[in-house]
């Protein structure tokens, strides 16, 4: 970001640059990255630093080294995003979708809150809530099935929350913040691995007779506004083979 110092190590800056180009689709699968020598010259670093940057990309599964040819960008399913990551992406770019993603099967209804949802939203079990669900896909298949649980009172302020259409004018959190004047101040995230149940198989459009044996990633996000009110509880169920990826800096 302009005006802020970038204190990352040089190799990390190089790796982050190419990570963005690869995950955004600007570098297509099969593209060859510059050689170690060319990277070192372009970034004005040592060849050891350039090699360390490429090794980081290889370790993250974004590229592979081909002997005698170079470093090739790999074709792979994009990692799934949590509700919190989609919120961050929407705030930065105006779109909650990841590179190459689209969403469909948008459904919405006013229902009675299941016990776990009521507990997460700090409301009485059986209270009315808006359940919004959709499926995120890329060209490899389902990235995630996502469900947002929202107290029904917000539906009176924003009728489209209860309509079976993609939201316009922002995400549900952005729309609620605009209407109430209370921005989202913090969130609570969880992530866990779970075996595929018949319910999960149905949501992920899997063959219930032959569900995958490996666990899937389930992530939840609880969003709280500046008044301390819980405004949304999200549950993201990752498609088979999808991983959850997050990156942060480690202080030296």
Give pLDDT, residue 207.
84
What domains can be seen in the chain, in order of their start residue? 10-73 (1.10.10.10), 83-238 (3.40.1410.10)
Terminal Cα-to-Cα distance of the chain (whole angstroms)? 21
pLDDT tens digits, one per residue of 80-119? 877 777 777 777 766 777 767 788 999 999 999 999 999 9
Give the global pTM: 0.71
Using pLDDT thresholds of 50, 70 and 90, give the confidence band for residue 2: very low
Residue 121 half-sphere exposure toward CB, CA atoms < 13 A: 27
| Residues above pLDDT 90, as percent of the chain | 58
Higher pLDDT, 158 or 168: 158
- Mean pLDDT value across residues 194-222: 88
Q: Please, what sign has the CA dihedral across residues 128, 159, 169, 243?
A: positive
Give me the DSSP letters along 81-93.
--HHHHHHHHHHH
């Amino acid at each position: 970001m302009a005006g802020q110092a970038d204190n990352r190590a040089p190799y990390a800056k190089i790796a982050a640059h190419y990570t963005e180009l690869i995950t955004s689709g600007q570098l297509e699968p099969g593209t060859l990255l510059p050689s170690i020598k060319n990277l070192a010259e372009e970034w004005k670093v040592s060849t050891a630093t350039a090699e360390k940057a490429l090794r980081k990309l290889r370790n993250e599964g974004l590229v592979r080294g081909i002997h005698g040819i170079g470093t090739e960008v790999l074709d792979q399913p994009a990692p799934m995003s949590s509700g919190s990551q989609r919120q961050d992406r929407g705030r930065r770019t105006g779109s909650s979708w990841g590179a190459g993603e689209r969403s469909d099967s948008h459904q919405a209804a006013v229902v009675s809150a299941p016990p776990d949802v009521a507990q997460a939203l700090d409301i009485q079990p059986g209270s009315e809530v808006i359940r919004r669900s959709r499926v995120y896909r890329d060209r490899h298949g389902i990235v995630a099935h996502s469900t947002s649980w929202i107290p029904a009172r917000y539906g009176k302020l924003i009728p489209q929350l209860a309509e079976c259409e993609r939201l316009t004018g922002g995400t549900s959190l952005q729309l609620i913040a605009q209407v109430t004047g209370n921005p989202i101040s913090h969130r609570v995230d969880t992530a866990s691995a779970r075996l595929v149940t018949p319910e999960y198989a149905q949501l992920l459009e899997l063959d219930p007779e032959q569900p995958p044996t490996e666990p899937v990633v389930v992530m939840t996000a609880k969003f709280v506004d500046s008044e301390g009110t819980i405004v949304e509880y999200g549950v993201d169920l990752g498609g088979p083979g999808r991983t959850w990826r997050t990156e942060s800096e480690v202080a030296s």
